[in-house]
Each structure stands twice: as C-alpha cells, then as structure tokens.
Structure 1
Amino acid sequence: MAVSHDTTVYQEALVVLGAAGVVIPLFHRLRLSPVLGFMLVGAVVGPFGLASLAPGLPWLAAITISNPDSMQPIAELGVALLLFMIGLELSFERLWLMRRLVFGLGFLQVALCASLLTAIEIELGQDWTAALVIGLALAMSSTAVVVQVLSEEKRLNSPTGRTSFAILLFQDLAVVPVLFAVGALDPANRGSGSAELGIALGRAAVAVAVIVALGRLVLRPLFRSVARTRSAELFVAACLLVVLATGLVTSAVGLSMPLGALIGGLLLAVTEYRRQVEVTIEPFKGLFLGVFLISVGMSLDVRTVAAHPALVFDGIVGVVALKLLVIAPLSRAFGLTWGTSLQTGLLLGPGGEFGFVIIAVALNAHLLTPDIASPVLFITALTMATIPGLSMLGNRLAPRLAPKAEVDSALLLPDTPSLPRVIIAGFGRVGQTVAAMLEMHKVPYVAIDSNVDRVSAQRRQGKPVYFGDMTQIELLRRVHLDTARALVVTLDASEPADRLVAAARAERGDLLIVARARDAAHAAHLYRTGASDAVPETIEASLQLSEAVLVDVGVPMGPVIATIHEKRAELQAAIKAMAPGAEVRPLGRKRLRDRL
C-alpha cells in the first residue's frame, strides 16, 4: 500500500536551498551582494510574486510560499545566530568600553531620528499617535543586513563597524520600552502602561542577570563534557542549545531573541571553545539568515508602488537622507572622522527588521490602518535592500573626506645634480628590500613613495626617499630619468604600475625597467607596456617554496638550484611568448650587472 506524503511541508526548504544553491552563486559571479539575492528570491516566490498566480497555475504552489508566517521562527533564528557570532567576537569588557557609543550616540540617534520623523508625519497630516509609531519604526536600522554586509566586506572591526554595531545594539535594547510605549498608546491599555513597563523592565533585567550567572557556571563544564566525546554532532547540538536557550529566555520576558543569543555569545567569547564554536555555527548562520532575508523580500508588495509611487519614492529617499543627516554629524561630534561618520550614516539610514515588529504591534493596537502601514512596511523593506549599494557608495566617498596629510617640504624631492642612479618607485617592503641589496653592492639609488608617513619614517633613518606620485611625468623628469641607470617599479597596485611603466618607456626608449607583477598575465601585460623585465610574485614565491621543499626532503642543493633556474627560464619564456608584439630585451645576470 502506497504511503502518501504531504509535500507542502518541504516548500520553504526547497525555496531556501534553491536560493542558496542557484541564485546566490549567480549573484556572487555578478559581484552583487547575496543580501540582494535572498531578498529578490523572497519577492519573486512570495505572496505578492509568483505565489499570487498559484490559484490559476497550481504547479507554482510547489515552488512558492503563500504564507510568510511559516518561515518566521527560522528567520528569527537566523538573526539570533548572527548576533551570537557577533557576541563571540566581543566580550563584556569590550562592550563596556563601547558604552559611550552605545548609550550616548545610540540614544541620541534613536531620539533625534524618531522625533524628526514624527514631526514630519504630523506635518503630512497624520495624528500624533500614528506619527509617533511611524517615527519610531523608521528610526530603527537593520542589525541583520548591516552586520552581514560589514562581515562580507571584512569591516566589522573597523571604526565604521564598531560605531554601527554600537548604535544597532542600543536600538535592540530600546525595542522593549518602544514596544511597551506603542502598546500603552492603545486606548484599552491607557492608565496601566507605566506600571506594566516598569514590571517588564524589571523582569528583563532579572532574566539577563540569570543568563549571565548561569552561563558563567554552566557553559564551560557543558562544552568540556561535549568536547571529551570528540563528536562533531554533539558539539553542533551544544552550540544550538546555547543559542536557543538564551534566545528563548529573553524572548519570554519581552526582550528580543537575538539579544539573548548575543549574551550567549558574549559568555562563550571568554572560553577556550570560542574558535571551534565559530567554525561550527558559521554554516547555519548563513543559511538561516538567508531565510530572514527571504522573509523580508516577501513583504515587498509591488502594488503599493503602483498605488502610491510618489509617496514610496519620496519616503525611501527622505528616510535615508534624514537619518544620514542626523547620524553623520552626531558621529563626528563623538570624535569620529567625517569618512567614518558618512559610512555609518549610509549604513544605518535604511530601515530595519524591528520596524516590522513595531508596525505589527501598532496594527494590533489599532493605532495604524492597513492603508497607512502598507507604504511604511514597503519603504522599510526596500531601504533595507539598498544597504549593500549604500555601503559601496560610502566606501567610495569616505576616502575623499579623509584629511590630506601635511607634507613637510623636507620630504619633497630637492633639486640635485643628475647623477646616474637607480630609481625605486614605491618604498614598501619590496622597495626596501631592493634598496638594501643596492646598498650592499654600493649602487646609488633614489626612492619615491606616496605614503607620507612611510617617507618620514625612512628619512629619519637616513634613506634617500622622497614624497611624490611617480605616475606624474614631471616627477619622472625631476628624478632625472634621462640619466638614470634603471627604474625599479615595486608598486603593489597594478594600474599605477602600468601607467608608470608606459610613461617611463615613452620618455626614454633605452631605459632599463624592472617591474613587479602580480602574476604571469600581469607580467606579460607589463612587457607589452614597455618593461624590460617583469617579476611575477606568484611564480617567484612558488619557486622559492619548491626549492625549500626539495632541499628539506634531502635532494642535494646543486641539482635543486639548477632545476629552479631552468624552471624560472622556462616560465619566463612562456610569459614572453604571451607578449609576442613586445620588444622584450633578455636580461641575463651578467648583462644586468654590466648595466648597473
């Protein structure tokens, strides 16, 4: 007898795994943020996307989700795992050091943004209760998306990452009093709101204290016992137990589940199991956080745009702009640079997940009508989708706001006789090594670098290093390129190195130009540009590694060196073959010594 199965229970899993296995790799290849990929999947398969066509096309029901509420528990777990991972990177001590940003900058951000947004809504004709709810909802930012974007860009520990997280942490803490304030505005609850708020805050404080106390007593013995079993499965179970237990305790007393997970991470951060826990949780975090982002995408109802296009567009631009104009000056007032302040304002300008929660409570309390709530929810979700793009914009604009370093005139190139010297372009680690070898053989040189601090430090050591941009033709002439014995290009950035080689070759056709290249393809490009010799980092590193391995395993030094030289010549010939049109001058060791 055949057993029938209800396949609808697998719909959510099918959508999430399909996004993770198909859509997100495509976004990765297009160099787009996975955040946008997950949200786009949610918009497409959600109740306002393909799921709305399922009644007429029954087969769509298998790959769409008509009830977003079914995904909410896993979505919240994804955010909780994200906060748990953040807690592992922090500690209570580091959190205490951030208290000025958390309770100072964070409080002012929420208070000022909510006040201004409320005032604007009142001017637009909303009554004061609806305006206050909308202002509080839009004042929140997205912990999940902002932290995910910062993590992808490896900027969580940067000044922008720490400042953003401090403000987001205060917002998470502020959710409890905000929700009780919204609930107290319900006419049915007026008069008892203050007492209930005090009791709720007291319960929350007790719950946090219990979690911290029990965590310090229980977590180490628990993970020690699990680690002794040497079972990866049990270690996964223990990690998820901590996340769920701490999250559910805080959720039960009115705090958010992610906040409880954050506390659990903070407690584990000081234990010897921290790194293994990070490795264990990472795959679950990414997948469950994807569920949250899909659920956000499902809330995007394109009919809202069709009904109120001007309102939605103005709301998106207005919310991000207003919060940016509040957060950036506030951050600057707290001692951050304008570049960091701008990046923080752009990241926190969009709305956040707690805005959905506040609007939902307001709807239940009859403080908002669905017609008013729908545009607010759409603005919140759509601004969250702009966070990766705003982060990229901040990364491009911030360097322009960085104060330009004062350049001491003593660091600039003086008018010196045109002595035949080797010119070194770039005086980082590679340039300094080349200079040391030239000094050892008493070959005179002059070096140019665009990092004023590096130049200053090297000048104090008596090195002939000067500040300047070697890609400028006038500076090439000032270092007397016309009489130089050679130009050594050690710049690590390929584009400036290419420009320098081309300019030097155009200025002097017989100049010996030895350039640092990233790899074989870049070396061939440098040959075509005009380099006499190009040294690929990857090839030289692999040859040195091969030499070390062969000698260490017992192969005699003589044959090893001969083999390495043969391989180097073979690879160099292959590189030069990649630049058939270039006039490549072979540089044997003897000829190079003669020219120097």
Structure 2
Amino acid sequence: MAGTNALSSPVMSDALVILGAAGIVIPVFNRYRITPVIGFILVGLLVGPFGLGRLVFDHPWLSWVTITDPDGLEIFAEFGIILLLFSIGLELSFARLWAMRRFVFGLGSLELLLICGSLTFVFATLGQSLTGAMALGLALALSSTALVLKITNTGTPVGRAALSMLLFEDIALVPIVFLLGALAPHAQGAGMDGLIHTLVWGTGVVVLLLVAGRFLLPPLFAQAARTKSPELFLSASLLVVILASLATAATGLSPIVGALVAGLLIAETEYHTEVEEMTEPFKGLALGVFLITVGMRIDLWVVWENLGSILIATAGVIVLKAIVTSLLLRLMGARRGTAAETGILMSSPSETTLIVLSAAGAAQLIQPGTAMFWQIVTALGLTITPALAKIGKIMARRVEGVEAPHQPVEAPDTPPTLIVGFGRVGHLVADMLTRHGRPYLAVDSNTDIITEGRRRGYTVAFADAARGDAMLRLGVAGAAAVIVTMDEPVSAQRIVRKLRADFPHLPIIARARDTDHAGVLYRAGATHAVPETLESSLQLSEAALVEIGVAMGPVIASIHEMRDEFREQIMEQGGLSQKPALKSGQLREAEKA
C-alpha cells in the first residue's frame, strides 16, 4: 500500500515523466543528428501546465504524463544549470586559453561587446530601462557552443573563428553571472552598501577558491583515483562542485559562479578528462530538466497571439548578429565567404541565453513577461540553428563565386601516438618514440604511475581508456596510431574492440601475453598483436645464433620472416583473412632493389 502511495505521489509521477522524456528525446534526436536541447524544450511545452496540463482536470489520467508540480522542479533545474557551467569550466583550461589568446581575447571580445552594445541600443530605444536593455543585450549576444561546435569543423577558417568567439563567450559568463548575481539581492534599491559588500566578499571567496583549489584538488583526486572506485571519483567531483557553489551563494552571488570556478580548477589537473566523462550523464539529465522547465513556461496561446512579434524579434536578432559578426570578421581580414558563413552560423541565441535571462528575471532587471517572450525567441532560434548553418554555407558559396574554403588546416607532419598503459612496456615505447622524434601521449588510470611519469618528464594523462569517450576526448580521432601495452587481457581486448568499432582505419598495435591472446586481439580488430612469449623466444634465438657465429644480417632477416609466419598462422587459426603483404625480409630486398 505504501508503494502504491509513493508511486501516485506528484514527485514520483513527475520523475517518471522526466526520465521517460530523457529516454525518448535523447536517442531519437541523436539518431537524426538534432540537438536534444530542442527536444527537451518541446517536451516541456507539451507536458507543462500550458500544454496537456490544461486537460488534467477533465482527464485525470493525464497526470501520469504531465508535470503536476512545476515549482518542485526548480531545484533540479538549478542543479542542471550548475552542472552546465561546471562542464564549461572543464573545457576552459588556462593552457588552452593562453594558446589561443590573440583570437579569443581579440576577436571574441570585440564580437561580444559590439553585439551587446548594438542590442542594448535597440532595446533602450524601444523603451526598455538601461539595465534591462544591457541584460537582454548580454543574454542574446551569446551563441550556442553545444550546437555550433557540433555543426562546424574547428579545423576550418569558419570553425576557428567560431571557436575563438565561443570560448570568449564562455569566459564572459563569469563576469556576466557575477554581475547579475551581485545585483539580484539588491535590484530593488537596497543600497550601494549591500552591493559593494556582495562584490567584495564574492571576489574574496572566488580568489580563495582559486588558491585553495590549486593545493587541495590534485591530492583529493589522486586519492580517489588510487582507489579505482568510479563511485568515489564521482562523489569527489560532485562534492567540489556543490561546495564551491555553496561558497559563492553564501556571499550573495549566484551558485553557478562557484560551479564555473570549480570546473576551471579541475581543468588544470590531469583528472579533468575522467571528471568530464563521469559527470556527463548527470549534466545531460539535469540540463534536460532545466530545458523542460523552460518549455513549461511557454504558453502556446501567448505564442499564437504574439506570433508576428516573436518571428520579427527572432529575425531581428539573427540578422543583427549576423551583420555585426560578418563585418567584424571582414575588418579583421577574413575572406568574404568565411565572414558570411561564420556570421550566420553564430547568429542564433544560446542555451546559456536562457540562463542569463533567468538570472536577469530573478534580479528583477526585466519583467517576467519580457523574460518569457525572449525565452520563446531563444527556443525558436535554437531550433533553426542547423538550418542557419546550411544557409551560411550557401551564402558563402554565392559571395565567393566559388566553393568557400572548407579544407581543414594542414595537420602536423607527425600526429601524436597514444600509448594506453604506462607500465614497463609503455615506458619503453615512449622512449623509442622520443628517440625517433615522434610525439606521443601516454594514458593510464594509475595515479601513482601518472605522478612518477610526469616527474620524469614523460607526457602522460590520467584516463580510463576502457570507459566511455575518454579516448575521444584525448584526441584519438587525430592520432597516428594507438599502442595498447596493458597486461590485463580482458581490458586490452575491450579497448581494442571499442577503438576498432569507432575508428575503422586507425592503426592499433596491441601487446599480447601469448599467441592465443594475440588471436583474440586480432579478432577484436588489432592491426598488429605482439605476443610476449613469441618475442622472447625470437630474441633468445637471435642472441644464440649471433653468439655461435652466424652473420647478423641473415639472422635478423630470418627473425623477421619467422615473426611474419607466426603472425599469419595466428590469423589463420582465428579465421581471419589478411591482404597479401611482403615478408619483412622480402621488403628489405625490395627496398635495396
């Protein structure tokens, strides 16, 4: 009976609706390569009080597929915003910003300031108060990092320009949120003393977090990683986010300031890839709740009554942003096609626009009706972003008169090789790659190995290569090859199979315990599998033959030929076919000829 009551509670029914929406929206929209952001907004619109919720009184069974307690979701929506800002902080490492500083702080700052200034002028002219006009200008000047970076290739001129502007916009969220968070408790004229108090204490807490995080976070995550417990690692990550958020909230600032600072701090540690991987599902679900609450605030009747105004406002924002961004890029020397395509691509609002609008509404800088109107405009803009990207490509071709330059930037002559596992074998492989001038990145999940390797000057990162998209985040898509040196057969097989499924043409060289294990790795997709027992036997034979007087050249040739024969036997026993290839000895003879 108690179970029945629990299931019939509003909280439980709302949870079922949200989980059901996530289970349907995410896979369906991903299949058609559409951002789930749009899906969650549409779900909120459908199941909210202005959608099917209107009919619950006449049809009580609809309570199971609608949100019956919208106010109860606010705390989860706020947590979604916190995790979104935390994930943005994870992507904004100080090293990455420094490498792109000229474009980020030059092009990015000019783009944001010019668009914000233009929009502020327009809103102030239309009768909005100056502070409200600035809040709307800041919110609508932002562009969608999640959508734009999925659509464009950051190796193209368009992608590089967009990335620079998006990075600065993400950085600008710190002062924007800081300012709105400081204004929120004092928006109704509580006096400058309270505002100054908030700013002083808020700045002090942020500085304290930055300093303390430098010393406390590395040992905290090192200890969590040493236990090899994903649960403990996740708990440590969420603990840091929540504590930082509470610290800034205690000073009167928004908690999302603390979340962003926490992300920036963790991004400077070797554990940021693992943290990003573990928090991704929570961020996606929590952000989905936030977007559902946005959709629930949209009254379709209001949309219908103001459809003309909404379409005009959406078109106005898109056109103004596209013109300002395109002109700025042209003044900075970009080609006409690049400027036109980038301007149109960056012209729609962002999911972070919704956050800034919510913060401005909470600070009473804009009226609730105004916030709802621009949330509808933002939702519409997000929906048409993929279409804007296609229009941008067409426009680029027309203004150039030929195909716009979309060729990727020339890749380095020697892309890095990823070494999975940094034990004895991994060290030797790294040494050989260094000796031959080849860049590499070693990956291991043992924090003691990471610490020792970095102390000795090796390039090594912390990540669990067997889980999720950790390798993708480390750049496996552009790697020269992956060398799997782990001595755990099951884990090695799992990693090889996943890499081969995701990257069919990637060279994968794997360490095997014996010939049977090598056969398993070949079936999993390894390009080469090197059995330790076989190699030790061949090296022993080589040493013995040379010692008893056989010439070095024929010995090495026969060793290579024997290795190739064993490789063929292993693949034949595994039922695998291989293309005809020259034996190692024959290859050398061909090279001599």
Give the TM interval when normalised to the shorter protein.
0.5 to 0.7
Q: Secondary structure at the match of 1:271?
A: coil
Moved more, 89-98 or 259-268: 89-98
**Among residues 40, 47, 54, which one is paired with 1:52 in the alignment?**
54
Distance 1:566 1:99 in 2: 50
1:328 — aligned with what?
Answer: 326
Match of 2:266 among 268, 282, 285: 268
Deviation at 1:154, TM superposition (A): 7.5
Residue 16 and residue 562 in structure 1: after superposition, are their counterparts in 2 closer, same or farther (change >3 A)? closer
Distance verdict in 2 for CA 1:402–1:204, change over 3 Å: farther
What's the CA shift string for 1:334-364, capped at 9, x where partnerless? 56555267436533532612342255246x4
Describe how 1:56-95 pairs up with structure 2 within 5 A.
Answer: 56-95=58-97
Maintained 8 Å contact 2:86/2:259: yes
| Change beyond 3 A, Cα 1:289–1:323 | same
Q: Distance in 2 between matches of 1:113 and 1:208?
A: 28
Are the equivalent residues in 2 in contact too, given 1:102–1:166 (CA < 8 A)?
A: yes
Could you tell me which of 204, 207, 226 is aligned with 2:205?
207
Contact conserved, 1:142 with 1:354, CA < 8 A, in 2? Answer: no
Structure 2 distance, partners of 1:121, 1:37, is: 30
Query: Does 1:346 find its partner at 2:361?
Result: no
| Distance change (3 Å), C-alpha of 1:567 and 1:197 | closer
Corresponding residue of 1:360: 361
TM-score, length basis structure 1: 0.60
Please state how far the C-alpha of 1:374 moved relative to its aligned partner.
4.0
| Aligned residue type for 2:18 | V
From 288, 291, 312, the counterpart of 2:289: 291
Partner residue in 2 for 1:13: 15
CA positional deviation for 1:211? 0.7
The 1-side partners of 2:44 and 2:404 are apart by 51
> Pairwise mapping of residues 142-181 of structure 1 onto structure 2 (< 5 A)?
146-150=144-148, 152-153=150-151, 158-159=159-160, 160-178=162-180
Report how many residues are paired. Answer: 427
2:80 partner letter: G
What's the CA shift string for 1:90-146, capped at 9, x where partnerless? 32233345555565555544544344334434554x2x51x6514532442487x82
Asked if structure 1 preserves the Cα contact closer than 8 Å seen for 2:86 and 2:263, the reply is yes
1:317 shift after superposition: 0.7
Q: What does the per-residue CA deviation read over 1:559-593, in whole Å, with 9 as the maximum and x for residues that have no partner?
A: 97999999989xxxxxxxxxxxxxxxxxxxxxxxx
Find the aligned partners of 2:139 and 2:349 in 1 and give their Cα distance: 8
1:309 equivalent in structure 2: 307
Q: Give the Cα separation in 1 of the matches to 2:171 and 2:78.
A: 16
The 3-state SS of whatever aligns with 2:346 is: helix
Q: Which residue of 1 aligns with 2:244?
A: 246
Find the counterpart in structure 2 of residue 137 from structure 1.
136
Please, which runs of 5 or more residues in structure 2 have no aligned partner? Answer: 412-521, 532-561, 581-593
AA in 2 matched with 1:162 = S
The 2-side partners of 1:403 and 1:542 are apart by: 50
User: How far is 1:315 from its partner?
Assistant: 0.8
- Give the whole-Å Cα distance in 2 for the aligned partners of 1:292 and 1:406: 38
Contact 1:304 1:374 in 2 (8 A): no
> Matched residues in 1 for 2:281 and 2:200: separation?
36
Match of 1:257 in 2: 255
3-state SS of the aligned residue for 1:383?
helix
Residue 155 of structure 1 contacts residue 161 of structure 1 at CA under 8 Å; is this kept in 2?
no
Q: Structure 1 runs of 4+ off > 6 angstroms?
A: 181-185, 399-407, 541-554, 558-569
In structure 1, what is the equivalent of residue 547 of structure 2?
none
Paired AA for residue 82 in structure 2: A
Aligned 1:554-565 pairs, distance under 5 A: 557=568
Farther-moved stretch of structure 1 (308-317 vs 544-553):
544-553
Mapped contact 1:355–1:380 kept (Cα < 8 A):
no
Amino acid corresponding to residue 79 of structure 2 in structure 1: L
**C-alpha contact (below 8 Å) 1:39/1:296 kept by paired residues:** yes
Residue identity matched to 2:135: L
Classify the secondary structure of the residue corresponding to 2:33.
coil
Distance (Å, rounded) in 1 between the aligned partners of 2:341 and 2:276 = 31
* Correspondence 1:581-596 to 2 at 5 A: none
- C-alpha spacing 1:391/1:265, structure 2 compared with 1 (3 Å): farther
> Residue 36 of structure 1: which of 25, 29, 38 is its match?
38
Q: Any conservation in 2 of the 1:300–1:382 contact (CA below 8 Å)?
A: no
Percent identical across equivalent pairs? 35
How big is each residue's C-alpha offset from its partner over 1:359-414, in whole Å with a ceiling of 9 and x where there is no partner? 5246x46x64x55554334223332333344345446655766797999xxxxxxx
* Structure 2 CA distance for aligned equivalents of residues 327 and 9 of structure 1: 45
Alignment CA distance shift 1:138-1:302 (3 Å):
farther
- Provide the C-alpha distance between the structure 2 equivalents of 1:197 and 1:105, rounded to a whole number of angstroms: 32
Residue 214 of structure 1 and its aligned partner are, at CA, apart by 0.9
Q: How far apart, in 2, do the equivalents of 1:563 and 1:268 lie? A: 45
Q: Which residue of 1 aligns with 2:317?
A: 319
Contact 1:39 1:385 (8 Å CA) reproduced = no
Label 1:25 to 1:371 Cα distance change in 2 as closer, same or farther (>3 A): closer
Q: Which amino acid aligns with 1:133?
A: G
> 1:274-308 deviations in whole A, cap 9, x for unaligned?
23222222222222222222222222221122222
**Aligned runs of 1:404-419 on 2, under 5 Å?**
none
Does residue 21 of structure 2 align to residue 22 of structure 1?
A: no
- Of 195-204 and 301-310, more deviation after overlay is shown by 195-204
- 1:24 Cα offset (Å): 2.5
Q: Tell me, in whole angstroms, the C-alpha distance in 2 between the residues paired with 1:565 and 1:155.
A: 36
Q: Quote the Cα distance in structure 1 between the aligned partners of 2:10 and 2:312.
A: 40
Equivalent residues of 1:268, 1:274 under 8 A apart: yes
Is the 1:547–1:560 Cα contact (8 Å) retained in structure 2?
A: no
In the alignment, structure 1 residue 379 sits paired with structure 2 residue 392: no
Aligned-residue CA RMSD (Å): 4.3
In 1, Cα distance between the equivalents of 2:394 and 2:243? 42
Return the letter of the residue paired with 1:360.
Answer: G
- d(CA) in 2 for partners of 1:31 and 1:102? 28
Show the counterpart of 1:479.
Answer: none
Amino acid at match of 1:169: I
CA–CA separation in structure 2 for the residues paired with 1:379 and 1:405: 32
CA 1:27/1:384 → structure 2, altered by over 3 Å: closer, same or farther? closer
Q: Contact (CA 8 Å) 2:357, 2:375: kept in 1 or not? A: yes
What TM-score comes out, normalization by structure 2 length?
Answer: 0.61
Residue aligned with 1:140, SS: helix
CA contact (8 A) 1:72 1:295 kept: yes
Give the aligned residue type for 1:262: L
* Alignment partners' CA distance in 2, 1:387 and 1:206: 39
CA contact (8 A) 1:543 1:564 kept: no
